[in-house]
Structure formats: structure tokens, C-alpha cells
Amino acid sequence: MPGKLKVKIVAGRHLPVMDRASDLTDAFVEVKFGNTTFKTDVYLKSLNPQWNSEWFKFEVDDEDLQDEPLQITVLDHDTYSANDAIGKVYIDIDPLLYSEAATVISGWFPIYDTIHGIRGEINVVVKVDLFNDLNRFRQSSCGVKFFCTTSIPKCYRAVIIHGFVEELVVNEDPEYQWIDRIRTPRASNEARQRLISLMSGELQRKIGLKVLEMRGNAVVGYLQCFDLEGESGLVVRAIGTACTLDKLSSPAAFLPACNSPSKDMKEIPFNEDPNPNTHSSGPSTPLKNQTYSFSPSKSYSRQSSSSDTDLSLTPKTGMGSGSAGKEGGPFKALLRQQTQSALEQREFPFFTLTAFPPGFLVHVGGVVSARSVKLLDRIHNPAFVGIMGNTRSYKLLDWNSFNADEPETRDAWWAEIRQEIKSHAKALGCHAVVGYSESTSICEEVCILSASGTAAVLNPRFLQDGTVESCLEQRLEENLPAGCGFCHIPYDELNMPFPAHLTYCYNCRKQKVPDVLFTTIDLPIDATVIGKGCLIQARLCRLKKKAQAEANATAISNLLPFMEYEVHTQLMNKLKLKGMNALFGLRIQITVGENMLMGLASATGVYLAALPTPGGIQIAGKTPNDGSYEQHVSHMQKKINDTIAKNKELYEINPPEISEEIIGSPIPEPRQRSRLLRSQSESSDEVTELDLSHGKKDAFVLEIDDTDAMEDVHSLLTDVPPPSGFYSCNTEIMPGINNWTSEIQMFTSVRVIRLSSLNLTNQALNKNFNDLCENLLKSLYFKLRSMIPCCLCHVNFTVSLPEDELIQVTVTAVAITFDKNQALQTTKTQVEKSLQRASTDNEELLQFPLELCSDSLPSHPFPPAKEHLESASSNSGIPAAQRATSVDYSSFADRCSSWIELIKLKAQTIRRGSIKTTVTVEKASPMSEGNFRNRSAPPCANSTVGVVKMTPLSFIPGAKITKYLGIINMFFIRETTSLREEGGVSGFLHAFVAEVFAMVRAHVAALGGNAVVSYIMKQCVFMENPNKNQAQCLINVSGDAVIFVRESELEVVSSQPPTANCQSSCPGGDVTT
Amino acid sequence: MTNELDIFVGNTTLIDEDVYRLWLDGYSVNDAVALRVRSGILEQTGATAAVLQSDTMDHYRTFHMLERLLHAPPKLLHQLIFQIPPSRQALLIERYYAFDEAFVREVLGKKLSKGTKKDLDDISTKTGITLKSCRRQFDNFKRVFKVVEEMRGSLVDNIQQHFLLSDRLARDYAAIVFFANNRFETGKKKLQYLSFGDFAFCAELMIQNWTLGAVDSQVDDMDVDLDKEFLQDLKELKVLVADKDLLDLHKSLVCTALRGKLGVFSEMEANFKNLSRGLVNVAAKLTHNKDVRDLFVDLVEKFVEPCRSDHWALNDVRLFLNQYSASVHSLDGFRHQALWDRYMGTLRGCLLRLYHD
């Protein structure tokens, strides 16, 4: 199915002076796609040329459309010598290939040169006509949508989550080809940029084909990475989760849907449900197409409905899941069987998602990870794989090298690792891995491949093709108390994969829970958390002898288990020190350098109400007879206890007191515990097994037996909490904060330190590294002090070791302001939390009519709404306070505009005394407030350049994403031979990072978007040679281009008469002008 | 352990107003850090000196990168590299083009050339303003001058359009450009008591009334150059002092009108002919460039100083000047009423402004 690509070059501006004599430029443009090139006329003597070209038309295959970037080169015409290149623009036209995304790319693009950086801008218009419209996406992967977001995108509904897709492509790196010796650095850089662009296009197309094979239509949590392997080549690999997504017709939802027959039948019954009784008779509501109901609170669960017909359709599953709550064991196994059958046909039951539709995640087992050391020169080498099952047991596996007959391709390497992960998950009694990610660290010819994820038991419904209706899931959730279900152990307590300390769940008191839970996913929205969360990092360095090839790989393999063990111990200690009992978003990065290994683990610690209160940390000296030593130990002990108490206060951790009898005593460790369920590969040697089961003892005991241990304890205490008004986490949202205001600031910070070679001991190294990270955080807090109170979310640290004595740390995060006063009033009930979530993406409500307010609102389209509301909610039995808030939160306007009348009433009545007071004010007088805002924050008012927000999060606080325009995936190289003149390494990189941001923003704006969500800087490789006055940097970024609309604006839209709505239902354009 | 590289880049460019001021004032990073430490910021925020150093470096780098754009402010608005809210952009521009009173008084009326630039060292020593800051201010003057020098249309509007300055600052720049172009002497000792504001006020009046633009708004340089024809014509005013009858009549008209109203009537009566001769001769001399340059020196010498030595109150000066210019209309033998008004209207405003201690 061919297509026609049309390109028009409109104008340029701010071009550099190319002709010294006239101080002007004679610019023209070459437009290249595949092997076809067009040229514009030369626009003489101007720095702001107006080419206004004809439409250049390329007739191409859709395969090319997907693979090739559009390449635009701006040149200076020279009559006598070769034309000088000013710079280039690469445009990925993929977003134009799916029906729902952008229709045109039009705007100003920075003209980029790998040596000079940005040199002016060019205005380009790009369109694609795909032939054979009706059958548009049947035979190619053109129609498959890609999302970097690791959750179901906000304006979509997941029909089926198919599972893991992966692909990698390999090529020679142009930088290492023989020709590189004779060509200019510019030519080499451009060859590389172009090649990677091509490879990622090809990769995306191939993944798309796999998705179509699975009958999906989208990839969510798409993560593409480059491995610069040097001599041995360039690997581009990607993983993602294939899904079938349904677009929620959000613009239509603003319109009075009642009057116009909606195209999407699925939406209608909810909007139009004429039955006025539903509110009082909750159980009667289930609409045929209502997919599932998620119950955010106990009080609500009795509302959930069941229709027996549905149950009978899938009796087996129903039985398994329905009983999971009460009887545990055998039934759980049944449920597992059910799900397993759905997952079994999959090679790898992995999901790159970190946040899930409610009800998807049933249980979480713990973190599973695997690492493998490989030599890049294709020599077989010993492989190492480790496991951290529920973060407690540690095993060394498979010391024998892999079958020598196996082809040592990159594909096979990853397959091995994935296989490991799968078996680890199985050992934890889980059939799936969520929050899955893969990474590499390369130094010379050694490469560490890592994969990690969270073992989990999933609800099978989403995984099956025949959509099972809601009833059985409702059953399941009815019985599983919300907010703690995922904490319950998925494995058999009599047959535990590792020694653990189990108690009955502190929430439901029915099921067993571990005492600590580590995961790589985001905190589930329905989880009950006490207090606030905080960023917890474990940092570690280990010196390593310089070695070659195999010896090097062996040395690294030998070090890895100790590093993992120490990282884990540090995390555990720090978690206890914070008085918390669970980690989310755990990411452990092991980086290999010439003479050292670095480990950096980041996670967000929280106190889960369902898990037991963590024991303290006890310090024990090894030489008890020494008096002064004893004193010292007790001093340390006091310090630690003080810190824990202080942290509990700081993070507002005051769990309700629960007497022991209620909970029941800890389950005695079954003596006959067998290890049948363990991963098979580990069978080889019991000796190497490291026991991390500190949990057996009530308090965590640290033994100080030498100075090393002393140092460790000290370093525990050196972590300074952020200044007041600051919080930080590496997850999407900060547990315990739910009143974000709209100000966001995304940033990247890079630091490189040079170690003095004299003091290279492990201790000194650890201290340096620790200081580096701590100082970096301190700097961030200082820089962002004007945003207080604020929270650094999605803090993402990356460590690399570019040279012998250099450590580079790159941090990308977003600072979001929140309203402190409101925070104080907030009680942390579940209802509110899920409501809060609902307010950040109203779309979710669209799918779950029963969810929050079905008891009161949707059934009452008619005016005497106030009374009805009151009565309705009092019928529902929700305590009054919650009622008020619950009504307030959801923006009904988005859901169905037929409730406009109702909203107005609501604004006057119910919102009073709600938590979100400021929002109420805004909503009550949208016009005046809106105007005022425009004046006080003029960015959108009279700026000539549209503001494009960037955030690593999947949402924008206070705003609603109305459209996904496509994936942004860009790779840039910048090189300089005049490092000093550009302000040294800092000046060079500062400018480059700013340029990368600018190019991302320009591409988003050209697609018609006003934000990038799920933005990530995947790579920032920096190399310098100060002696030669040279430096080079490679940056790879990605994210989802979106259009968002401020919630306040939405209110304006929805409170206007319906006629006005039609014009404003596609407000993206206005915002981006 | 040393920080080899240390950067922070926000999607929205962070601008710290305090650091910006220090940068504009020409302090080195180390000096700026020291000044910030002294401001007590460490105590307020609990930061360390190292953090402050890194923060200051970052801001300085950003400002350094922005400087190129600030040289042509419209570029700052259209550029894509730094995402800066418009209010911040305006602040950046306004502060960048702001200047020190002490500095501008040194440079006002001088040729904005390399020669003057070489003197910046001395100005820096004299005023205590860092050389760096002096250079920035001087380059700003010169840049604005170069851009609007040969442009048609209102000077203030042109400056505003090309440099996006506030109305107030654009007017100041108009004065600076006007003074630089006409090379008015402002540095003499007897002019030291005058502020930049005084000169700017006079400049504005002169631009409004004495330039080409005052009669024809479609000429190049209309607001920058004085109307040569008008200056030539001013010779005609000489008759007011040359013709003895006219001078006496003028004096008697003024004296009659002001008798009893003026605190310094007798001094005025005694000095009338001197004052009148001074004011008219200033006008008549304006044909020569050299005398144009000395306009302010002459005004102070011929009018301000004599009045001041007789202790005229400002109100007396106002009454006198009003009457002095109005009475000419009653002189039947004088035919250049319009010319007189164009001259005296402006001069009266200027003199009133210049008359203070």
C-alpha cells in the first residue's frame, strides 16, 4: 500500500551569516526522502529567506514511510566552490501514519548542525496521503500506535493487554567504519544520526508487525535503547507491551451526547442511561458493556453488581477468583491456572507497564532481576545471573556457561535473560512479570545485560481475547479488600521460595503478607498508604582490577553478587531508617567501568498500611567487653533511633495502633518447607546461596565488626532529608500528596567528577559517589526553591563511567508544585486517593460508570438534583465527609455534558467545604478566573512561540490530555573542536541539552501538540578530550507528544451553551498558537 | 574530587533575578558567590557554598548564552532554544538595557566610538562601576544608536520596536541617541549638578519641537537631527536684542505685567537686557555645530547662573519666562512669532528643568 508524502518548504529565519563579505546568506533547501531529492530555489542574500516552495511529492512504499526519516538540508549556495551546509532537520513522519494522531506536521524546526548546534529555523509543512483509505492498515504496521507511557494512555481504554513484544536490529557503527578515517566529523555524525533514525524506524515497523500478529493495535510502554558497542556494532533494541486500545471519544463526551447519536455504542448507555433508579439500587446497574468495576473503598464494594448470566459463561474462572479472598491456597492456585493458560502461550509473560487498569494486578510477588556479563567479541564466556526474589533471597545461578552450540547473537543473550526472569517469577508463584525493563552497560568489550521486573499474578480477563464481562471480576474485588490485595503473597506459605516473615494483612486480616515489599512498578492507585513517600537510594562502588576480555568478564561476574547483596542491604537499612515498609519503582543500575563497578538503586519508599510496621535497626558490637566501644555502639544506636523517629514525623507515618491479638502472631516458619517451587536453574549449588532473610529477627541487626561496617552505618546517617517543603520520589506520583497545582518544571542535570587517583579505595570511592549524588540533590533543591512547596517526581538517576577516573551522573526529573494548605486537611482515606487519581484523569471515570459517583450522579440528569444528590448519597451509606469530596472531584463535564445543569448546581452546593477549595473557586467563576490567569501567566497570552511542556510523567497536573499525537524518539550527536571557546565542557553540554529540549519542543509543536509526556532521556554519552580541545556528546530522548487542555478551560467549555462547545471541542490548536 | 562538569537545564529556563543583577553588574562568578553568601542566602536555604557556586555558574552560563539574543531582543522572542515566559523575557530585556545614572552622565553627548570605549577604564575607576558593566552599557548605547540612527519614524517608537523596551526606557534611549548624535556637551564642571533626567527631559522637548520630525514625519533621521532650516531661521530672532526700541518695548511689557508679582522684581528689571540678550544670542548662534554642542553650557552660563546668583525662586523664573515669551506677541514690529514660539516654547521648558541647585 503505497503513499504520497508531500513536503513544502515555506521560509527560514535567523540563519547564520555564511558570506562574510556581505554578512548575508544565499540559502536553498534540499528535501530528501529515501533516494529522491528535491531542491528549492536559491533565495539570495537574506538571513530570513522566503522560499514558499511548491509541494514536493514523494511516491513511496509504506515500509519506507515507516523506516525513513524525512531529511531536510539547508545549504548556502556558492557559485565557485562547493555549497556549504548550514544544517539539517530530520522529521519522523510516523505520527502521520495513524489515523487518530496528527494529520499534518507544520511549524518552525531548528536547523541543526552536529558541529555548530542550532543555526536558525526553517518552516516546513509535511503531509501524507495514504492510498486505499478503507483498507488502510490491514497489510502493514502503519496503523499501530506507539506510546512511551507505561500505563494505559489517558484517552484510551484497554480492551485486551496482549503482552510482551521485543525486537532488535544490529548494524555496523559508522563511527567505526574505515571510511571514518577520511571523512569529516560532520559527515560521520550525520551518517550515524541517519542510520539510527533508519534503524529505529525499522525497529518500530517490525514491532508493529508483531503487534498486528497478536491482533493488537498499539504498543504501550515502548522503550527503545541504543547500545553503542563500538567496534562490534550498533544495536537498537526495543521492548513494549502490545495492547488493543479503544479510543474514548473524549471530544464527543463534552457534547450533549444525548442529542446526537454517538458513533461509539460503548459510550452511550452510560451517558444516556435513563433509569433514574440506579443510584439507590446499585446492584441493578451493570450495563452490558461496562467492562469492569473497580471498587475504591469498602463502603462501595457492596454496590458492585453481578449478573449471573455472565458468571455462567465463564464458570471456571469465576470460581477461582471468587474464592481467592477467603480460602486462599488451593483456590489461588486455581486462579493461577486460569491465568496461566492465558499466559502460557506467550513466550514471555512480561509487561512493561508500571501502572495498570484497576483490577488488573491481583498479587505482587517481589522484584525479579537477572544480569549477564557478555563479551562483545563473540567469544563464549561465563554468564552470571542473579535473582532477588521478593528482595530477600539471593541465589547465584548458572555458573556454567551456556551451551556452546547456541548462536551468540544479541537476540539469544536477551532470550536467556528473559528466560531467567520468567523462571524467577515462577519461583515466586507468579505467572507474570510487570514493570519489566531491560538495560545494558558497556565498557570496552564487556557488556552487562540486565533485566528486572516485578513478579505478579494478574487478572486473566485482560489477557484473553473473548472479553469477559464484568461480573466475576467484581466478585473478586468484592472479596478482596481494596488497597491491600496486591500485597498478599502469591506463593504458597508452606512452600515459600525463600525464608520470609509473614503476618496477616494489617488491612483485611485475612491473608498473609510479607513484612517488606519491593517492586519495580508504580504504587497502585488503590493502595492504602500512611504518610508520605520518599526517594531512597543505595549507592555503591567497587574497585576492580583492569583486565582483558575473559578475565575481565570473570572478575565482573564475581563482583556482581556482592554488589547486589550490598545494594539490597543498603536499601533495606535505609527503608527501615525511614520507618517504611515498601519500595516502589525500584531500579537498580550496575555500571561497568575500566577499573570499577558502580551500583545505584533508586526507589520510592512508602508505608503500606497492609504491611506490618517495620522493626527498628539494632546495632550490635562484636567486642562486647570493651567499655568505650560499647558506649560508642549505644551512642550510634541512639542516633539511629532518633533518626527513625524524626523520619516518621517528617513523612507523617502514624499507623494506627493494632494490638497483637487481632493480627495474630507471626506464622511459624514451617519446618518442612521444601523448595520445590524454586527456579530450576538454581539447583546447582546451595553453597552460593546468600540468605537475606533479616526478617526472621524482629529488628534489623547491624553488626559492627570492623571499620567497614562502621562506615556503612555512618553513611546511613549522612543522607540528609530534603529541605522542608520539598519531597522527592522516583514514581509517577508522590504517595500522600494529591493536590498538585499546575506549575511543572522538567529538568536535566548532569555532573561529572574526576576522582583523584591517589585515594582510590572502596571507602573513598563510596564516599565520593555518595557525596556526588547528595550534592546533586542539594543543588536541585536549591535551584527549585522558588517552587516550594513542591515535589520532585520521577527522579531518574543514571550513572556512567566515561573514563578511568570520571563518574558521570545524569538526573532527569520534574518538579511539581502542590498546595500545602490543602495537603494539611487531607486525610488519607482510600476513597480520596482514588478520587484524586480520578481527577487527574477523568477519562478513567468514563469507563467505570459505577466507580465513584454512580450512586449519586449519573442517574440524575434532571434538575432537582441537589435533593436527589443528598438523598442518593445518604442512601449509599458513604460517610458524609467522603460524600462531599467524592462528588467534588470528578469533573462530570468531561464525562457527559448532559449534566451541565447538574454541575452548575453542584458548584454552588456540594463543593463548599470540599478539599479542593481553590479549584472550586475557579470552577465557580471560570471566566474571571481564566482571564486573570491569562494575565498573570502570560505565556499562553502573547508569546510568539507556543509553550510546550515536558514531563517524565504520564499526565499533566491540572490538565486533561485530549489527544496523543505520536511518539517522539530523537537521537542527536553534537561535537566540537573548540571546546574552550564554547565555555568548556559545561558550556558545551549545557548548550547541547538546551538545544535538544528545543528540538523536541519544536517537533511537538509542529505536530500540533503542547506537551510531551513520559519524556525520558535514555542516553547521554559524553566524551571529552580537553587536550585536543574536543568533545562529543550523544543524546537520545523519547516521549509522547500530546495535546492537553487545562481543567479550568474545560470547565469554561462545558459551562458554555452547547452550541459553543462544538467549536471548542478541539481546543488543542488554540493552546499551541 | 572536583566537579569536572556541572549543568542544570530546565525545560523552562530558570532565571534568578538576583544573580542576573550580579551578572549585569559585571561581577565574576567568585565575587557573585561571595556577595550572595553575604546576603544570607545560605542561612535562609540551608545550602552550602558549593551549591551556591554551582548555581551561580549555571546562571552565568545561561546569561552568557542569552546575551547574544539580548543584543537583538526580537530574536529572544522568536528563538526556540530557551523557553522563557514572556514576563521573564521582558524582565531580561529591560534589565539588560537598564543603565547606571553615574555611567550615563559620563558618556552622554559623547561620540559613541572606539575612542570613548577606550576611556571606559577611567569611567569605571571614577564611578565604581565594573568595567564589564560599563562595556555592556556602552555597547547597548552604541547598538541602539546604530540601529535607529538612519531610520524614519518616531525615535521612541523605533527603539521600542527594535529593542522591545518599556516606554520609559525607550524614552531614555531616545535621549541618549539624540545627545550622542548632536554631541551636546554635558561633562563641563558647571553642568555637573544636572542629572540625566534633566537632560532627557530637555532632549524630549527638543526632539518634539526642534527636529525635522517636528515638521515632517516622513524623513530619515527625523528625530535624531535638529531641523537645520529652523536653526538658520533662528538668526532672525536677533532683532529682539539688536533693535534697541524693540528691546526696550519688550522690557517694559514684561515689567508692567510682572510688577508686584515677582519676588525679585528689581533684580529682574536690572538684568532684563542681559538675560534677553543671552537667550536670543544662544538662538542666533545655533547655526554653528560647535555652538549647538555648547547649548547647555550657554544656557547655564547666560541664564541659570545669573538668576541663581540673584536668588530667584523657581516660581519667579517661571513667571518671568512665561511673560518674557508671551510679551513678544505684542511687539508689533516683530514678524517671527511662530519661530519665536517654536524656539522659546522648548527653551522655556528646558530652562525651568535646568533651574535647580
The model's pLDDT over A187-241, given as tens digits with 9 standing for 90+, comes to: 889 988 988 888 888 888 889 888 888 888 899 999 999 888 877 788 889 999 9
Check if the beta carbon of residue B83 is closer than 8 Å to that of residue B11. yes
Q: Using CB atoms, which residue from B55, B61, B64 is nearest to A779? A: B55
Tell me whether strands A393-397 and A3-13 are parallel, antiparallel or unpaired.
Answer: unpaired
The least confident of A175-189, A945-959, B31-45 is A175-189
The pLDDT of residue A399: 31
Q: Where are the alpha helices (DSSP H) in A436-535?
A: 471-479
3-state class of B303 per DSSP?
A: helix
C-alpha cell at A915: 478539599
3-state class of A158 per DSSP?
A: strand
**Average pLDDT of the segment spanning A131-144:** 59
Query: Considering all CA atoms of chain A, what is the largest pairwise distance in Å, rounded to the nearest integer?
Result: 94
The least confident of B168-177, B194-203, B224-233 is B224-233
The pLDDT of residue A901: 34
CA–CA distances in Å: residue A623 to residues A344, A616, A919: 55, 22, 61
Is the confidence at residue A509, as pLDDT, over 90?
A: no
**Average pLDDT of the segment spanning A609-622:** 77
Is the confidence at residue B96, as pLDDT, over 70?
A: yes
**Average pLDDT of the segment spanning A299-314:** 31
Interface of B with A (CB under 8 A): 1-14, 45-48, 50-52, 54-55, 57-58, 61-62, 64-65, 75, 77-83, 85-87
The pLDDT of residue B218: 64
The pLDDT of residue A707: 59
The residue of chain A nearest to residue B1, with distances taken between CA atoms, is A755
**Average pLDDT of the segment spanning A600-624:** 81
For A362-419, the pLDDT digits (tens) are 888 889 999 999 887 643 333 333 333 333 323 333 333 333 333 357 888 888 899 9
| Res. A800 pLDDT band, cuts 50 70 90 | very high
The single residue listed with the C-alpha cell 503473597 is A489
| Res. B200 pLDDT band, cuts 50 70 90 | very high
The pLDDT of residue B240: 86
For A530-573, the pLDDT digits (tens) are 888 899 999 988 888 888 878 888 889 888 988 888 898 889 88
The pLDDT of residue A463: 67
C-alpha cell at A899: 449534566
The alpha-carbon gap from A352 to the nearest alpha carbon of chain B, in Å, equals 27
Question: In a mutagenesis test of the B interface, which of A778, A786, A985, A1072 is the best target, namely the one with the most B β-carbons within 10 Å?
Answer: A778
| Res. A889 pLDDT band, cuts 50 70 90 | very low
Is the confidence at residue B65, as pLDDT, over 60?
A: yes
| Res. A141 pLDDT band, cuts 50 70 90 | low
Q: Where are the alpha helices (DSSP H) in A242-314?
A: 250-254, 268-272, 298-301, 308-313
Q: What's the CA gap between A608 and A507, in Å, rounded?
A: 9
| Res. B104 pLDDT band, cuts 50 70 90 | very high
Contact B81 A998 (CB under 8 A): yes
Contact A983 B46 (CB under 8 A): no
3-state class of B107 per DSSP?
A: helix
For A777-790, the pLDDT digits (tens) are 999 999 999 888 88
**Average pLDDT of the segment spanning A749-754:** 93
For residues A629 and A146, which has the higher predicted lDDT (pLDDT)?
A: A146
- Looking at residue B161, its amino acid is Q
The pLDDT of residue B351: 92
The pLDDT of residue B291: 86
* Residue A1058, preceding peptide bond in cis (omega within 30° of 0): no
The residue of chain B nearest to residue A725, with distances taken between CA atoms, is B45
Q: Using CB atoms, which residue from B47, B48, B61 is nearest to A990? A: B61
Chain A, 85 to 124: residues with Cβ < 8 Å from chain B are 108, 110, 118, 121
Q: Considering chain B, what percentage of its residues have pLDDT values greater than 70?
A: 97
Q: Considering chain A, what percentage of its residues have pLDDT values greater than 90?
A: 23
Is the confidence at residue A425, as pLDDT, over 60?
A: yes
Is the confidence at residue B28, as pLDDT, over 90?
A: yes
C-alpha cell at B127: 564611578
For A997-1056, the pLDDT digits (tens) are 999 999 999 999 999 999 999 989 998 888 888 999 999 999 999 999 987 776 655 544
* Residue A997 in contact with partner chain B when CB distance is under 8 A: yes
For residues A869 and A950, which has the higher predicted lDDT (pLDDT)?
A: A950
Is the confidence at residue A599, as pLDDT, over 70?
A: yes
Contact A755 B12 (CB under 8 A): no
Q: What's the CA gap between A380 and A377, in Å, rounded?
A: 9
The pLDDT of residue A55: 94
Is the confidence at residue B179, as pLDDT, over 70?
A: yes
3-state class of B60 per DSSP?
A: helix
The alpha-carbon gap from A119 to the nearest alpha carbon of chain B, in Å, equals 10
The pLDDT of residue A220: 92
For residues A674 and A34, which has the higher predicted lDDT (pLDDT)?
A: A34
Is the confidence at residue A834, as pLDDT, over 70?
A: no
The pTM for the full model equals 0.79
| Res. A255 pLDDT band, cuts 50 70 90 | very low
Calculate the average pLDDT of chain A.
70
3-state class of B329 per DSSP?
A: helix
The least confident of A73-87, A499-513, B341-355 is A499-513
The pLDDT of residue A1070: 38
CA–CA distances in Å: residue A1064 to residues A143, A260, A331, A1054, A1057: 27, 17, 52, 9, 11
The pLDDT of residue A499: 65
| Res. A337 pLDDT band, cuts 50 70 90 | low
C-alpha cell at A289: 458493556
The pLDDT of residue A666: 45
For A644-659, the pLDDT digits (tens) are 888 888 888 877 765 4
The pLDDT of residue A109: 94
Is the confidence at residue A436, as pLDDT, over 50?
A: yes
The pLDDT of residue A163: 86
The pLDDT of residue A128: 87
The residue of chain B nearest to residue A1023, with distances taken between CA atoms, is B5
The pLDDT of residue A311: 31
The pLDDT of residue A839: 42
Is the confidence at residue A908, as pLDDT, over 50?
A: no
Is the confidence at residue A275, as pLDDT, over 80?
A: no
**Average pLDDT of the segment spanning B144-154:** 86
| Res. A28 pLDDT band, cuts 50 70 90 | very high
**Average pLDDT of the segment spanning B101-123:** 87
Calculate the average pLDDT of chain B.
89
Is the confidence at residue A87, as pLDDT, over 80?
A: yes
Is the confidence at residue A702, as pLDDT, over 70?
A: no
Angle, CA of A177, A179 and A185, to the nearest 5°: 95
Is the confidence at residue A963, as pLDDT, over 60?
A: yes
Strands (E), A722-829: 726-728, 740-754, 790-800, 806-818
Three-class secondary structure assignment of B245-273: HHHHHHHHHHHHHHCCCCCCHHHHHHHHH
The pLDDT of residue A1051: 62
Chain A, 618 to 677: residues with Cβ < 8 Å from chain B are none
For residues B213 and A886, which has the higher predicted lDDT (pLDDT)?
A: B213
Q: What's the CA gap between A618 and A262, in Å, rounded?
A: 64
The pLDDT of residue A500: 67
| Res. A747 pLDDT band, cuts 50 70 90 | very high
* Sheet arrangement for strand A1030-1046: A949-950, A1011-1025, A1030-1046, A959-976
Contact A780 B8 (CB under 8 A): yes
Chain A, 802 to 841: residues with Cβ < 8 Å from chain B are 806, 808
